[in-house]
Each structure stands twice: as C-alpha cells, then as structure tokens.
Amino acid sequence: MARLDGKTAIVTGGGAGIGAAIATRFASEGAHVAIFERDASNGEAIASQIKNDGGSAASLEVDIASLESVKDACARIDRIDILVNNAGISAIGNVETTTPEEMDRVYAVNVKGMYHCLHAVVPSMKERGSGVILNLASIASKIGLDDRFAYSMSKGAALAMTLSVARDYAKAGIRCNCICPARVHTPFVDNYLDKHYPDNRDEMFEKLSAYQPIGRMGKPEEIAALAAFLCSDEASFVTGAAYDIDGGVMSIR
C-alpha cells in the first residue's frame, strides 16, 4: 500500500511508542516522515530504522514546548502535507495532589506544544489549500479516569483544539481529526509498573489490561493503522471527528 505516497508528514514524539509506530507506518505507506523529537538519539534511531527498511525519514531535534524551536524545524521542511500531534507527557494525581509545577509542565507540553505545532503549520496548509492534521487525544478527554487530573485536562484541550481547527479551516481544505485511545502498551506503561508496582507487577499488568472490555491493552501499531487511514485520501470526507480506539471502553464498559 502507498496511501501516503508523495506526502510529507510531521510526527511529533516520533522516537518512541505510538509516535514511532505512526512514523514507521507512514513511511511504509510512501510518506517522507519528519520526526520531531526532543530526545535526538531516539528520533535518529527510528529514522535510521525507517531508512534501513527502504523508507524516507529525517529526525529533527525539537522541543515542542518552544514555539521558536517548532518554527525553526518547520522552516527546514519544504512542504508539510500532514501533521500528527503525538508528543505528550503523562501525570498521575488528583486535583489535591497535582502541584502547580506539574500542572504547568503538562500544560506546556500537551497543550501549548500542540498549539505551537498548529500555529506553525496551519498557515502554509491554508495558503496551499490542503492539509491533514491528526491530534492524539485520549478517552480521558471524554470520561473521568482515576488520578489523571492534569493529563485529562490536557487531552480535553486536544479534543477542543481539534474541533476548533476543523471548524475554522474546513473551507480552506484542511481536515483535522483526533484519536482517543484507551490504554496502549508502550514503554511508558512498563516503566510505570516497574516504578510503582515492583512487587506485584504482573498482577497490575493484568488489571490494567482488563480495564478494556476486549481484555488487553492496545498496540501502538493498531493506533498507527487508524492514523494512516485518517491521514490518507480515503478519509477525505472525515473532519472534526474524535475516533475511539479503546477495546470497547466507551461503548460496552
């Protein structure tokens, strides 16, 4: 398949987890992938892997919390057809235990970082009359999750920004959607379990898996498959949508 042949796609946070899976899938679909990654070594590793597999990719060291960093990176790309706002951080705690510093940290990356990328990319898409934007939200943007106050705040903002951009730029030829995953098995989950549940890690892994009615966590490759569809011309009639990919959490929980 080559649904993205000839397209250039930015994937933020493309050096690990879901972002790496999206970058890899997009390259396999024919896109040139520009990985925006704060951790330069991770970004370079994924870009090298893509090129070794015959794809086209480049890694740019970018801190999405800095508008200047984002703009500098975008200026190095001739044409941006697709923007995937994947980069983000998590935070654990309720409104009492979340510190102002933690709230600011999550806001700076998950909310302002997404805004910075949108702010930098939308003008060129508007001028050209075409473009596709995909934001990574979460089921946390739609339902309450235990001890995820700051994270849920940021993902609610991701959903709201998706709807706003879709509304404002539909007539400019720009489509904007978001994906709302439930729990996906990434290195973050493994690190979280190792840190907080070293004595009953397997038990907690099963508990986290069972939260999804389908009985397991999602796979990064499954998120990437949906992303590839939404960013392709096959989804040309889809904008302003928030796709649940959650193993049944929202519909049959």
Beta bridge partners of 223: none
In Å, how far are 119, 151, 158, 194, 206 from 111, measured between CA atoms?
12, 10, 7, 28, 31
Active-site residue, selected from the candidate residues 115, 151, 192, 197: 151
Beta bridge partners of 34: 10, 58
Of 85, 81, 201, the closest CA to residue 138 belongs to 85
Contact 251, 224 (CB under 8 A): no
Q: Is 211 considered catalytic here?
A: no
State how far the Cα of 197 lies from the Cα of 181, in Å rounded to an integer.
23
Task: Tell me how far apart the 2 most distant CA atoms of the chain are, in Å.
Answer: 56
Of 172, 141, 165, 149, the closest CA to residue 250 belongs to 141
Q: Supply the residues annotated as catalytic.
A: 151
